[in-house]
Amino acid sequence: HKRVAVMISGRGSNLSALISATMAAGYPCRIVGVISDKPDAAGLKLAQDYGIETHVLDRRDYTSREAHEDAVHAALETVKPDIVCLAGYMRLLSGAFVGKWLGSMINIHPSLLPSFRGLDTHERVLAHQVRLHGCSVHFVTEGMDEGPLIAQAAVPVLPGDDAETLAARVLKAEHNLYPSALRLVAEGKVRITTTGKVLLDAFPEPDPDD
């Protein structure tokens, strides 16, 4: 089994979906640690209920982003994950930090990237009258919500939707998508190359001259 750490800031419904998926027979990962930057994140209690090791690194306890990230990195090193999943971790990570986990850190984002990076995606989707919305799992790189895509799921925007009904539809898709994307990474079926391209094992290596 691959060792997986999950980083959260809040509710932890994606964490919950990942925990459930990893408990199924034949799933290639185990969640061995949960890291939160918020001491009151509901996901912490959930992790503890499953006997998963938790670490809280509150940004307010550190004088700089660098010092906070060093502490997060140290916590990750005690967990020794093969893969790190960001699941509602609401803090931008520096290039220096992300570089240490390049190719083994993934994130879920509530939009069909590269559309609607950043916050309040559901509100912005409604404002643009987009008809198709969804979620994306991608490798984490320095830019916000910019890393190479691993998997996506689409949901319709329906007449009468508000941000809440739309968010709920997307969240349901997230809970299916994240475990399947994590499995692809854990089984080595998708990986990031040194040039930042994602390779899916279903496709041949791209020609370097292309």
Indicate the residue among 14 and 104 with the shorter CB distance to ligand GAR.
14
Distance of alpha carbon 39 from alpha carbon 71, whole angstroms: 15
Q: Is 26 annotated as a binding residue?
A: no
Indicate the residue among 10 and 33 with the shorter CB distance to ligand GAR.
10
Q: Which of 6, 52, 72, 108 binds ligand GAR (CB under 6 A)?
A: 108
Q: Is 144 annotated as a binding residue?
A: no
147 binds ligand GAR (CB under 6 A): no
Active-site residue (options: 68, 109, 138, 175): 109
Residue 3 forms beta bridges with which residues?
A: 30
The answer to whether 133 is a known catalytic residue is no
Determine which helix (DSSP H) or strand (DSSP E) holds 56, and give its type and residue range: strand 53-56
> What is the distance between the terminal CA atoms of the chain, rounded to a whole angstrom?
36
Q: What is the per-residue burial (b if ≥16 Cβ within 10 Å, else e) of 108-125?
A: bbbbbbeebeeeebbebb
Residues 148-207 close enough to bind ligand GAR by CB under 6 A? 171, 174
Residues that bind ligand GAR (CB under 6 A): 8, 10-14, 87-88, 108-110, 171, 174
